[in-house]
Chain A
Amino acid sequence: MTVLTPAIGWVGTLLGLAGSFVLSVFGFRAQRRPSAVRRSQLRFAVWCMVGGAVLAMAALEVALLTDNFAMSYVAETHSRATPLFFTVTSAWSALGGSIVLWALVLAGYTAAVMRQVGSTDDRLGTGALAVLGVVSVFFFGLVSTVANPFKILPNPPADGPGPNPILADHVMVAFHPPLLYLGFVGFTVPFAFAISALLLRKGGVEWLRRTRRANLVAWSFLTAGLVLGAWWSYEVLGWGGYWAWDPVENAALIPWLVATAFIHSAVVQVKRGMLQAWNFVLVIATFALTILGTFLTRSGVVASVHSFTESGVGPAFLGFLILVLAGGLTLFALRGDRVASPARPESLASREGVFLVNNLLLTLFAFVVLSGTLYPIIVEALTGNQVSVGRPFFDRMSVPLSFALLLAMGVGPFTPYRHASVAVLWARLRVPSLLGSAAAAALVVPGGISSAGVVIVAGIAVAVVTASVRQLIVTAPKPRRKGVPRVLRGQRAYWGGQLAHIGVAVVAVVIAVSGVLATRATVTVDRGESVEFAGYTLTFEHSEEHTQPDRSTRDAHIVFRSDGQVAWVAEPRLNSFNNQTQAVGQPSVWSGPSRDIYVALVQLGDDQVSLNLYRYPLMVWMWVGGGLIAAGGFWALSGRTRRATANNTPEPVMADA
């Protein structure tokens, strides 16, 4: 019985591997000679992949839930004391399981592409399926070799060490990794179609139209994953921040930046037939960066909070990365000229001109973050010296780029295509600029805020939001009460984009405000004594021990009083897990619409506690804004897809909205 579950996992993995192999061979053959392969053959291969991945994932979960310590993955990441919820989530909290999840998600995306491919005459589609097959061969190959979670142990231990403490402590572990994977893996689909189009020497907008949905799905999930990751880090890690410019955080941010650039430049190609070659570069880069990100996370090449595992998987990812880059870029170099679009923007003062500026800024941003992330690794590899690149570098680089991006975001969506006259721009941006500058002035003079950054960001954000609202009201047919919802539902791509822009504006304001206007203090309090912080009186009342099967917890009860009334009790704690010698602190956060109070333990004795206290204004709105960005992506893709037409002409520019 104990051998049966890993054996089923093995069967699933090999089935998936075989399916992906067949899919890649038959897919490429179908692309060359459509009549040589039947659609049902491709479909069968895809079914094998999906079935195999489901079987492997199910075997993993069953093994974890039945405490099957004869299986290597269970013996390494599970313990009998692990609560049920974290037992389920430990299926992806270590290397082997996360690659199984990756393969499962990839099989799901492949099945979605298969549904699009009506017959083998669709050569773009069969080629894309073949590329998806090749990528799946790599991931199923990892599961069956270096990252194999199904190894059968001859002498199974009676109990295991349990999951990494940080991954067994918060519900977010059930959401952040799967969302990030849905995002990361989703970018394989545009990559597959791009490579297929290059193989066919076929430019045009068809591959863009057909991957728009997958790309937006991936982007929205990655956005949600990033925001949840920041939130998780804020709630759990206890250093008082949400973004440390940690290499692994950067590894997820860089593909997001490039994918964001691609979403915008894809619009330019579809609407105006420009930037075609550039789109190929962006798509290949996005996919390569997701592989690079996984390499950084999973190989242990950078010391970081996310490098929980070190294994032989590093060289495999590096090899695959080189293959993707070399293959993709060689193909692009050979075929790029054929697919380059002849048209170029007539004037920078046009929607496509601003899109171009946006793309340059986003790719420069991605490049800066990438170089800062890889630099210490490269220096150490070349010279053996250890150097650090941290927040001061990234902040100094990202702040001006972000300001420029915010400005482009404020102007771009309201600039007409082809050529924008000053009069039109002025008409559209007059009221927003007025309100934006009024908001800036109001913050300075009655508000008394002396930080230029906060004032400028807030001014631009107000202008961005008003410009969107104004555009909505002006373009909606009368009566507005019916017209506005109709426009929002009708032009989902545009208004989803605007929703995401509003989210970005909100996030930018919160980043500025929470960074500059935060209050912090380190205090040491004896039991029964009080200190003042942010208008509250804090009293250290007592500390308690709790014992749970997998950990013992010591918390401090810090009572916040306002005018003598108890307002909140903070219970920051130290978790001592059975499988780890060092205790892990967990902060206590009190969120409100206007501010967060954040209490983290520095030291906890019987009669004395040292605390780091933070007050972050508006912090909650960071997550709301992040949610708006992701929601904008989902709104944009929820619309009906336009019927794909197999010609190369860009669609006419419709109403200039």
Chain B
Amino acid sequence: MLAIVALVGLAVGGLLAAGPGTPDRAYELEQRLRCPVCKSVSIAESPAETAEAMRAVVADQVAAGRGDQEIIDYFRARYGDWVLLDPPASGSTLALWMLPVAAVVVGGVALALLRRRPDAVDEVTSQDRIRVRRAVDQVRSRGADGDMP
């Protein structure tokens, strides 16, 4: 037990000490922008010329010190909401983010209601007891005959 705690502590400590690596901002932004001439891949992944040009724009703007949101908005203004692979939690894509939350809430409530429903009365009647005893006797007698291994 102690060993596990120590090892997990060591791993967590090591991770914290290492800290977050330097993120490649341009690459992260590229992954959030959809390639306009491809099929559901981002400009980071696409070999298309349009994507290459867009990557150059991202790199320029990052170098110019513009913020993430500014750069995203720049592309959004030119290509529309369609270019955002990461749908914003606002406007017409807000509902998308609410759906999983709603599913969890509805599911949780349904489960809670089901659990609270009283159990069906499941008493063992004397008839059942007799049936069980008969079955057990049968098995035993068969065992005695040597049928059972």
Residue ranges of A at the interface with B (Cβ–Cβ < 8 Å): 238-241, 244-247, 303-305, 342, 344, 360, 364, 367-368, 371-372, 375, 379, 383, 385-393, 397, 430, 433-434, 437-438, 440-441, 443-445, 448, 450-452, 455, 459, 585, 600-602, 612
Contact = CB atoms under 8 A, between A and B. Distances in A.
The 6 closest A-B pairs by CB, nearest first: A390-B85, A444-B14, A392-B86, A450-B18, A437-B7, A342-B120
Contact of B87 (A387, A430, A441, A450): A387
Given A246-B39, A388-B84, A441-B8, A372 B96 contact: yes
Given A388-B83, A390-B40, 10 more contacts: A239-B38, A239-B46, A241-B45, A344-B119, A368-B103, A388-B82, A434-B4, A437-B4, A444-B11, A444-B14
Nearest to B32: A392
B85 A388 contact: yes
Contacts of A386: 80-82
A601 B52 CA distance: 13
A452 B17 CA distance: 12
Contacts of A441: 7-8, 10-11, 14
B39 A440 contact: no
Interface string B1-31: 1011001101100110011110000000001
Contacts of A303: 39-40
Given A392-B85, A444-B14, A342 B8 contact: no
B122 to A, nearest CB: 7
24 contacts: A241-B45, A246-B40, A342-B122, A364-B104, A368-B100, A375-B93, A375-B99, A385-B80, A387-B92, A388-B34, A388-B87, A389-B96, A390-B42, A430-B1, A440-B11, A441-B7, A441-B8, A441-B10, A443-B11, A444-B15, A444-B18, A445-B10, A445-B14, A451-B21
B101 to A, nearest CB: 10
Contacts of A344: 114-115, 119
A601 B92 contact: no
Contacts of B54: none
Max chain A C-beta neighbours (<10 A), residue from B20, B40, B104: B40
B23 to A, nearest CB: 12
A44 to B, nearest CB: 42
B40 A239 contact: no
B87 A371 contact: no
Contacts of B143: none
A240 to B, nearest CB: 6
Contact of B39 (A304, A389, A448, A451): A304
Question: Does more than half of chain B's interface fall in helix, strand or loop, or is it mixed?
Answer: helix
Contacts of B10: 441, 444-445
Nearest to B19: A450
A371 B47 contact: no
B3 to A, nearest CB: 6
B113 to A, nearest CB: 12
Interface of B: 1, 3-4, 7-8, 10-11, 14-15, 18-21, 31-32, 34, 38-42, 45-47, 52, 80-87, 92-93, 95-96, 99-100, 103-104, 107, 111, 114-115, 119-120, 122
Contacts of A455: 11, 15
B65 to A, nearest CB: 23
B84 A239 contact: no
A383 B104 contact: no
A371 to B, nearest CB: 5
Given A239-B41, A452-B15, A600-B47, A438 B100 contact: no
Contact of A360 (B92, B107, B119): B107
Contact of B86 (A244, A385, A390, A440): A390
A388 B18 CA distance: 35
B84 to A, nearest CB: 6
A98 B4 CA distance: 54
Given A387-B93, A434-B7, A440-B8, A371 B39 contact: no
B32 A367 contact: no
Contacts of B11: 437, 440-441, 443-445, 455, 459
A434 B100 contact: no
B27 to A, nearest CB: 8
Contacts of A388: 34, 40, 81-85, 87
A245 B40 contact: yes
A300 to B, nearest CB: 12
A450 B13 CA distance: 11
B40 A304 contact: yes
B120 A389 contact: no
Contacts of A305: 39-40
B92 A379 contact: yes
Nearest to B84: A388
A375 B94 CA distance: 11
Contact of B96 (A375, A391, A452, A600): A375
A163 B86 CA distance: 34
Nearest to A385: B92
B96 A393 contact: yes
Contacts of A379: 92-93
A393 B31 CA distance: 11
A371 B19 CA distance: 35
A397 B41 contact: no
A391 B47 contact: no
A450 to B, nearest CB: 4
Contact of A391 (B83, B85, B107, B122): B85
B125 to A, nearest CB: 16
Contact of B45 (A240, A433, A452, A585): A240
